[in-house]
Amino acid sequence: MVKKTQQLTLPISSSELPSFENFVIGDNLEAVLALKQLSEKSNTSSKAQLIYVHGQQGCGVSHLLQATVDFACQQGINALYFDLSEKALSPKMLQGLESYELVCLDDVAAVVGGSIMFEREAEWEEALFHLFNHLKDAGHQLVVGSSQLPQNLHVRLPDLVSRWDSMVRFHIMDISDQDKEQALIQRAKFAGLNLAPEVAKYLISRGSRNLNQLIANLDKLDQASLASKRAITIPLVKEVLGF
């Protein structure tokens, strides 16, 4: 999917798009500041800035890339978010993207490293290589998001690996359980729900610690609470989520 503006560490409401404001920073302040600075209007007319952001699924890489584009668009910057994990994409869709002042390519692992047919993979790698060069030559900004480091993606085009390896790199760290607890309580409060700390602790200790899944579980509890007109309690969690 291609989006001119605007996946998680914390969208506070189901309808709210990822932003720097609703990202749970944890130990990732340096990355957040670098991405925010890159997406400011004052930085788009200088030398190209190239950033590679990586981290395990659910830690917030996609959220940060979308937040970067959202913030840039607010500054009047012509910016694009491109999720490469979407189906039915073609390498040809990367042609001409150097016209954007800022491009964020998310989940590059979806189109390289044996994830697709060899012929298509070679086409994608060539297209990604040329886009990198075109953006750099134009003095525009590029952010690449991935679950792994460039050398671990099994990319067959050495020149593409070297380009990505030359980028400023940030490893997005998962947030602590305490931060996740506060994030759940904050989201619930924003939605008009009362989530007691002991219920938030229970959700984290008994279910998945992946924040994406925690948010999905809270949404299920929200719906069940509305339907049954019951407060979100540990008995309701056991009934709805089965743990």
What confidence tens digit (pLDDT) does each residue in 106-152 have? 999 999 987 666 568 899 999 999 999 999 999 999 999 999 999 99
Residue 155, domain CATH: 3.40.50.300
Res. 14: pLDDT tops 80: no
Q: Are residues 133 and 193 in the same domain?
A: no
Range of the domain at 203: 177-241
Split at pLDDT 50, 70, 90, the class of 221 is: very high
Q: Are residues 144 and 182 in the same domain?
A: no
Q: Are residues 136 and 181 in the same domain?
A: no
Q: Which residues touch 64 (CB under 8 Å, ≥6 apart)?
A: 9, 18, 23, 28, 31, 32, 35, 53, 145, 172
The DSSP string of 76-103 is T--EEEEETTSSS--GGGGTTGGGSSEE
Q: Which pLDDT belongs to residue 189?
A: 83
CA angle 75–79–80, rounded 5-degree value:
145
Q: Which pLDDT belongs to residue 21?
A: 86
Domain count within the chain? 2
Q: Are residues 185 and 163 in the same domain?
A: no
User: Among the three residues 113, 140, 171, which one is the final residue of a domain in this structure?
Assistant: 171
Residue 202, domain CATH: 1.10.8.60
The answer to whether 21 touches 186, Cβ cutoff 8 Å, is no
Res. 1: pLDDT tops 70: no
Q: Are residues 52 and 97 in the same domain?
A: yes
Res. 219: pLDDT tops 50: yes
Nearest to 39 by CA among 59, 19, 24: 19
Q: Which residues touch 30 (CB under 8 Å, ≥6 apart)?
A: 170
Q: Which pLDDT belongs to residue 106?
A: 98
User: Among the three residues 171, 195, 226, which one is the final residue of a domain in this structure?
Assistant: 171
Q: Are residues 66 and 158 in the same domain?
A: yes
Q: Are residues 79 and 22 in the same domain?
A: yes
Q: Which pLDDT belongs to residue 3?
A: 46
